[in-house]
Amino acid sequence: MLFIDEAATERLSLPASERNALLHAVEKLEAFGPSLGFPHSSAVQGFPGLRELRPRAGRSPWRAMYQRVGDVFVIAAIGPEAQVDHRRFTRASRLAVARIAELEED
């Protein structure tokens, strides 16, 4: 599991209860790997390969955008749930894709 630095900073800006919920979701991803499915994880529409980690089985207003790179899950951005703020969800998804591409170049 790898948090890109910017995503780690975004995580710290969440309220404490949401930060804890996100960390529990990350623990589930670590435990179940790619078999972690809905409602804990789902594909991000329009962004092939990108997935959203859904804290509290989707009841959290926050999402962690991640992708598997080799054998590592890379959490690349934190953003609001799409129905809460679609524009910022899309922005977080775009940032995640760009950050992962940059990571893969290095």
CATH assignment of the domain containing 62 = 3.30.2310.20
pLDDT of residue 105 exceeding 90: no
Q: How far apart are CA 10 and CA 76, in angstroms?
A: 10
Tell me whether strands 2-3 and 72-80 are parallel, antiparallel or unpaired. Answer: parallel
Whether the CB-CB separation of 10 and 96 falls below 8 Å is answered with no
Counted domains in the chain? 1
Residues facing 79 on adjacent strands: 63
pTM: 0.94
pLDDT of residue 44 exceeding 80: yes
Domain span at residue 15 reads 2-105
Dihedrals phi, psi of 64, to nearest 5 degrees: -110, 120
**And the tokens for 24?**
């529990």
At 62-85, the pLDDT tens digits run 999 999 999 999 999 999 999 999
